[in-house]
A and B are shown apart, each in its own frame.
Chain A
Amino acid sequence: MSFPEIFLGILEGMGVTLTVTLFGLCFAIPFALIAGVLQQFLSGWPRAIVTFIIEFWRSTPVLVLMFMFYYSLPVAGIYFSATTVAAMTLGLHIGAYGSQSVRAALQALDRGQVEAGLALGLTRPVVLWKIELPQMVAAMLPTFVNQFIQLVKGTALVALITMNDMTHRAKEISQITFDPPAIYSALLLAYFMLLYPTTIFGRWLERTVGRRTGRTTEGRAGDV
């Protein structure tokens, strides 16, 4: 097989990669927002529970989480497809990281904003939704873009739970033709093409937002 043939063969797995990413986002974004807000507003035992849930999803390696749920949910009588398990574990893992930037953005906001909103007679949830969240978006965006990149890269792991994504396609092709340099260069190239524009966009966002808010957003990115 020639390099273009190998490359096109690998791209056949792009659909699975993108599907898992999309469903992963459906878990990650709500979890990040809800967990981050709850961790900020709760106190005492409820807060400890939320913190534990976040830390569980963040501190356990995502591959271990994926295998754990892939194998132990059926034991508990719950049958999810590989796509669902992969999207859930990747999404919640990335979402747990995201929740920390949500919380950081909430804390960084000027207290006067909330006080002014409350003084005007708005309820606390309305202040959160209409005043705090819109202002937080700019501060959170660079981290979220970085987390998104981590999520897409994380989808390479679904090859290990039998899903036919780009990485799995590369392994399949390597069984037909012995040409590791071409196959794995093509695989690197495929992910690079998919993510390089986002990496550049994230860099640009970091610079722009950093200039506006005067602080750097580098720090806790995911680890997938």
Chain B
Amino acid sequence: MTFDIPFLLKVLATIAKAMPLTLAIALVACVGSSLLGFTFEIMRRSNRFLGYVMRFLIDFIRSTPVLVQIYFLYYVLPYYSVVLPGIVIGGLALSIYYSGYLAEVFKAGIDTVPIGQSEAALALGLTPLTVTFRVIAPQMLRNIAAPMGNYFISILKSTPYLAVIGVAEMMGTTLEIASQTFRYAEPMVILGIVFFALASLMALFVRHLETRLLQSTKR
């Protein structure tokens, strides 16, 4: 591999330009998958029939590749004349895929909150919705911050899949520059380093958060 410094800098600049969009999509997918996953989990617990349906849905989401889900949304929605830009499809697909995993995390999280908490809150006359969001959710989040954070890192690492539907995130722009210059090796290595650095930073933050939360529960 010959080292062509100006070319490498150009690649790095292109990746840096695409970084805000990549992070924005990841952020949207983090929020989307959390909300969707929490809703799924609440529905799974609500009644017996809905419980079976949601369980099947969650298992279905978890049993199919995210790439295929992206293709599905991207090619099937326009067929029914629902035309959405690639960025929206991408955020939607990642939200749906990771909601299946986050629902499982929330399941474990809700189980860690003693049943007496919700019973007491309900007995005090709070509505079920208030109990869910004001009593259970805050206590649960403390226990599941670490696994949630790990899935958020996974979401960031899944953004390259969106290159296949033409979203100009970091992978997409890198592929573009590679196909223009017929040089794939160096841009891919640089992209790998950038993702590695970003994911490691996030992992450090998650670990920091985890230890702080553990300390605060001890007190």
Contact = CB atoms under 8 A, between A and B. Distances in A.
Given A55-B200, A216-B108, A68 B189 contact: yes
Given A188-B64, A192-B60, A72 B161 contact: no
A223 B160 CA distance: 12
Contacts of B164: 160
Contact of A156 (B67, B146, B151): B67
A72 B189 contact: yes
Contact of A61 (B72, B160, B189): B160
A60 to B, nearest CB: 5
A63 B160 contact: yes
A221 B66 contact: no
B21 interface: no
B157 A71 contact: no
Given A180-B75, A218-B104, A64 B65 contact: no
A62 B195 CA distance: 11
Contacts of B65: 153-156, 167, 191, 224
A181 B80 CA distance: 9
Interface stretch (A28-36, A103-111, A113-121, A193-201): A193-201
A60 B62 contact: no
A223 B152 CA distance: 10
Given A192-B64, A223-B158, A59 B1 contact: no
Contacts of A27: none
Contact of B196 (A59, A191, A220): A59
B191 interface: yes
Contacts of B189: 68, 72
Given A184-B71, A187-B68, A59 B195 contact: yes
B180 to A, nearest CB: 15
Contact of B79 (A56, A67, A167, A180): A180
Given A59-B157, A223-B157, A191 B68 contact: yes
Interface string A114-149: 000000000000000000000000000000000001
B171 interface: yes
Contact of B188 (A68, A196, A198, A216): A68
Interface in B85-139: 101, 104-105, 107-108
Given A68-B188, A76-B1, A219 B150 contact: yes
Contacts of A183: 75
B63 interface: yes
Please tell me the size bucket of the interface on A: 35 or more
Given A60-B192, A64-B160, A156-B68, A174 B75 contact: yes
Contacts of B107: 218
A72 B157 contact: no
B193 to A, nearest CB: 8
B192 A68 contact: yes
B5 interface: no
A220 B157 contact: no
Contacts of A220: 147, 150
B72 to A, nearest CB: 4
Nearest to A171: B71
A176 interface: no
Contacts of B59: 196, 199-200, 203
A62 B159 CA distance: 11
16 contacts: A55-B196, A55-B203, A60-B199, A63-B163, A64-B160, A72-B185, A75-B185, A156-B65, A159-B67, A184-B71, A184-B72, A188-B68, A191-B63, A195-B64, A220-B147, A223-B153
Ranked nearest first, the 6 interchain pairs of A and B with the lowest CB-CB distance are A223-B154, A71-B184, A72-B185, A156-B65, A59-B199, A153-B65
Given A63-B163, A153-B66, 16 more contacts: A61-B171, A64-B160, A65-B192, A67-B184, A71-B185, A72-B188, A156-B68, A160-B164, A181-B79, A187-B72, A192-B60, A195-B64, A196-B60, A218-B147, A223-B151, A223-B157
